[in-house]
Amino acid sequence: MSERAAPFYCPYCGDEDLRPSEQGHGAWECAACNRAFQLKFLGLLSRGVQRADNGGDQI
């Protein structure tokens, strides 16, 4: 089992000064904008990832 992934930046202000919050699993606090947020993994999609790539732009 690997470690939990951590966010690289705040989704509100973009700053990187994040700390785990005491609010529970997946909760983070941003020291720059004084906001708290929570990340949650919902699961895998049953259809998988679908790309709309048709080989590049047409010229």
pTM above 0.85, yes or no: no
Q: How far apart are CA 13 and CA 18, in angstroms?
A: 11
57 CB-side CA count, 13 A? 1
Q: Which residues sit opposite 37 in a β-bridge?
A: 28
Over residues 24-33, the pLDDT tens digits come to 889 999 999 9
Over residues 10-58, the pLDDT tens digits come to 999 999 999 999 998 899 999 999 999 999 888 888 876 666 666 666 6
SS3 8: coil
